Amino acid sequence: MFGFDPLIFWGWTFLCFYMGLMILFGFVGMSRIQGSDDFATARGSYGPLFLAFAMTATTASGATFLGLPGLAYKAGFSALWYAFVYPLGVYCGVLVCLHAIRRAGASFGSRSMPEFIGDRFDSNALRIMAALFSLLLLFYLAGQLLAGAVMFTQMLGLETFPALCVTAVVLMFYIALGGAHADILTDGVQGALMLVLATLVLWMFLTGYGVDGGFDGMVTRLDALDPALTANLHPTHPLFDSRWDLFAIFVAHLPLGLLPHIGNKLWALKDNRDQVKFITISFVFGMLLPAITCGGILARALLGDELLAEGSNPNNAIPALFIATLPAWAAALIGAGVLAAVMSTADGLVVSTAQIFANDIFRRTLAPRFMHGRDEADIDRIGLLIGRVATVLVLVASIALAWSTRDKNIALLVWIGVGGMMAATAAPMFLGVLWRRATRAGALVGFVVGGVVFAVLHMGGIQAAWFAGGPLEAAGVWLQAQAVNPYACATMGAGLSVLAMVVVSLLTTPPSDQHLERVFGN
């Protein structure tokens, strides 16, 4: 197993320690579970500091720790805009909605974000639509498994498919045992490790570690490879070539902190008086973690175009950087930190996706219709069992998806699913907590418009040739060019979703005062 390669030996050593620790947290989480609600949300169980570690770790996924350095390896300094704009969007969105979501979640007993949206608008149809649409997050989970596979391939000498299976088995074991408690406990510890790793990579970048001449030598080397690598905005990269791209990154990430696997952390906060402290600490940590992106720039200076060659992948920038500059034991230890980033998001995704079946479909849809009069404790036990079985099935489906998309950049793979979810839920979520006049019909129309617009744009459904020779020719060319940019597609989808929801809400009957009091309080 270990061979004679010191990197592989140390990789397996730290992996065994890591797996043992995560499984231990799984058993600790299992001991804290009192029922299916506890499995799904760990409601009111954790303080602001530990939960901030968990929240930050879940937000900064394998896409942050491997996908963003991969983009930075190709685009250079312009990718840093993404690294530090996206957490601003995430935590601004959470700050806007935190208080209202916690209050309404407590009032309705919501266990998932689709359930919260359905409760907010008193709509089973909207809840089921949001739950089914959440299955798009399988792309997000596939991206995390693929990121884990990259680390196992580099550090353990495994082939891609066995590496995907190892990643999934570790996740399956501790999440099936401990649910949301295991998710938060492991994420809290992983978040602390990720912060240490991000700080180390930032120091390596600022000192130009391993490059003759330090930081200045790194910049000179990049400029010699390609002057665009040191430009403020990359002249040809479709994600970083204009101010519009930066605006789109910010807007597209506003709903990210409210996705099911992140938003459920908001219900785990023990005391409402700690909300400001929680979001402040999370924001500070969240701004530091994307510094890992700097490692992709340093890797390009050290490795040149090596990872752009046939058979290589820029997703490997961070592990390749560690292998090239650090002793084998240190590279393997830091690799465990990157693995923590992967697992910290993947476990939350597994819990929230499993809850689509256990909560949104079974408890809220099938049980009231076909199990009327059944003891509530029995329904709760069945829901808990469904959640655990769904955990296994979700991971199996995600392995298949990750295998079929293994050559795609991890950050962009994640956004195939996330972008659609963001565009569809932005209007119901934000207008639902900010605007009392928002109606059920408006939310339904806004949800559909956002999802459809994202799908049409990102799949290249707009062709410039349709507008050739007319006054909209330039607009057609621009829209077609945006197809490769999931952030732009999500931003336009969310904008049109908000517009459609406002118009329809103003034309339909407002919700009752009694319902609004349950949502907003007095």
CATH assignment of the domain containing 165: 1.20.1730.10
Q: Measured between alpha carbons, how far apart are the two ends of the chain, in Å?
A: 63
pLDDT band at 29 (very low <50, low <70, confident <90, very high): low
* 147 in any annotated domain: yes
* 172/37: higher pLDDT: 172
pLDDT at position 218: 95
Within a domain: 130: yes
**Does residue 157 form part of some domain?**
yes
Q: Is 497 helix (H, G, I), strand (E, B) or coil?
A: helix
What tens digit of pLDDT does each residue of 303-314 get? 999 998 887 888
Q: Which residue has the higher pLDDT, 110 or 179?
A: 110
Taking 50 as the threshold, does the pLDDT of residue 2 lie above it?
Answer: no
For the stretch 385-426, pLDDT in tens is 887 788 788 888 888 888 887 777 666 777 777 788 889 988
Mean pLDDT of 24-43: 62
Q: Which two tokens stand for residue 425?
A: 């839920």
Torsion of CA 509, 515, 521, 522, to 10 degrees: 70
- Residue 494 lies inside a defined structural domain of this protein: no
The average pLDDT across 426-437 equals: 90
Domain of 336 in residue numbering reads as 6-28+45-407
Question: In sequence order, which ranges of 328-409 are alpha helices (DSSP H)?
Answer: 328-355, 367-370, 376-404
Confidence band (pLDDT; 50, 70, 90) for 85? very high
Tell me which DSSP letter residue 269 carries. Answer: B
**pTM for this prediction:** 0.78
**pLDDT tens per residue across span 133-147:** 877 778 877 877 777
Q: Is 83 part of any domain?
A: yes
Query: Which residues lie closer than 8 Å to 132 by C-beta, 6 or more apart?
Result: 356
Position 359 in a domain: yes
Tokens at residue 456, please? 């049409």
Q: Are 12 and 158 in contact (CB under 8 A)?
A: no
Note the pLDDT of residue 112. Answer: 67
What's residue 484's pLDDT? 87
Mean pLDDT, the chain, integer: 81
471-505 residue pLDDT tens:
888 888 888 989 888 899 999 999 999 999 999 99
The per-residue pLDDT for 174 is: 58
Domain assignment present for 502: no
DSSP-assigned beta bridge partners for residue 198:
none
Model pLDDT for residues 112-134, shown as the tens digit of each residue: 677 788 888 988 888 888 888 87
Summarised one tens digit per residue, pLDDT across range 7-26 is 778 877 877 787 777 777 66
CB atoms within 10 A of CB 92: 15
Coarse DSSP helix, strand, coil percentages of the chain, rounded to the nearest 5 percent: 80, 0, 20
CA separation for the pair 15, 429 (Å, rounded):
39
Does 520 reside within a domain?
A: no
Q: What is the DSSP letter of 46?
A: B
301 band by pLDDT with thresholds 50, 70 and 90: very high
Number of domains in the chain: 1
Quick one: how far is CA 56 from the chain centroid?
A: 11
> What is the SS3 assignment for 173-207?
HHHHHHHHHHHHHHHHHHHHHHHHHHHHHHHHHHC
Tens-digit pLDDT profile for residues 230-280:
999 999 888 888 899 999 999 988 887 666 556 566 667 777 777 778 888
For residue 1, pLDDT over 50 is answered with: no
- The pair phi, psi for residue 168, each rounded to 5°, is -70, -40
- What angle do helix axes 317-325 and 328-355 make, rounded to 10 degrees? 160
